[in-house]
Amino acid sequence: MFGDICLWDVERIEVLRDPQSKLVGRNAIAGTVVVDTKAPAFVQEGTAQIAAGNHDQRRASVMINLPLEADRVAPRLSADRYQRESVTNDDSYQGVSDPGRVKSTSLRGKLLFKAPSDPDRRLLVTGAHVDHRGLNGKIIVRPFANRRSNFPQQLVHEPHTNSLGLEAGIPLADGYRVEISTSYTNFRFRRRAVPNSSNAHISTDEYMVEPRQRYEAADDKSLANSLNLYRARPHEFIEFIAAQNFQDNADTAAA
């Protein structure tokens, strides 16, 4: 499964090796990559970029941060659009006119609320949409000057993701704080291929809730505990050669 990771308006990227389930939840057995996007700020700012290159490569990106109420409400909006042609020469087939066409769209909006009496009381709402289309691989065969693909009717991968997240934090006493993170993700994936070969459809709805408690003492010692609740409902259909198809529906819950 292939997709695109947009690095526009990103604060930092963390690569955590070895099991990370206690920090980021289930299925982080080999490690995790955390892409931390920039949060809204109580300043007026904006930025944009336009880029172009060979193989019909184009990119346009924009970000705007505009506080609605001083030190209380601030939205941040960002968008990134990218497209190009593959370096290989591929053949069209039913349902796919140009396997080598790569397209990606990333939209993200964040809205930050802070209590006027206590800025440590905060609520952050994040919505995001990612839409990608790209071919499976780029391998050429001799003569290399023709840039002919080793598999001219290349598979095309189309992942689509919509997500909504909420983070809240409330200080209750000196050094004591409660927090909650919750999110919903709707994921759709389609693999396009020659009919009756290896087409695939995958869809998943994921829900996550993580309440946390934190305590920080005056001597910089801290204590934290959390509960991770997770549920997913994946549906899969995958074609195999000679009509040996695979279909599966599941309902997974974990804590």
Q: Tens digits of per-residue pLDDT, 47-102?
A: 999 999 999 999 999 999 999 988 899 999 999 999 999 989 999 999 999 999 99
What SS3 class is residue 124? strand
Contact of 78 with 128, CB cutoff 8 Å = no
Contact of 65 with 45, CB cutoff 8 Å = yes
Confidence check: pLDDT of 221 > 90:
no
Q: Tens digits of per-residue pLDDT, 144-198?
A: 999 999 999 999 999 999 999 999 999 988 889 999 999 999 999 999 999 989 9
pTM: 0.89
- Specify the pLDDT at position 119: 83
* Rounded CA separation 126/13 (Å): 18
Which are the contacts of 155, defined by CB distance < 8 A and separation ≥ 6? 99, 135, 136, 191, 192, 193, 198
Which are the contacts of 210, defined by CB distance < 8 A and separation ≥ 6? 25, 180, 181, 182, 226, 227, 228, 229
* Rounded CA separation 100/169 (Å): 46
User: b/e string for 10-24 if b means 16 or more Cβ within 10 A?
Assistant: eeeeeeeeeebeeeb
Confidence check: pLDDT of 224 > 80:
yes
Q: What CATH code is assigned to 10-254?
A: 2.40.170.20
216 or 161, which is more confident: 161
CB 114: neighbour CB atoms within 10 A?
19
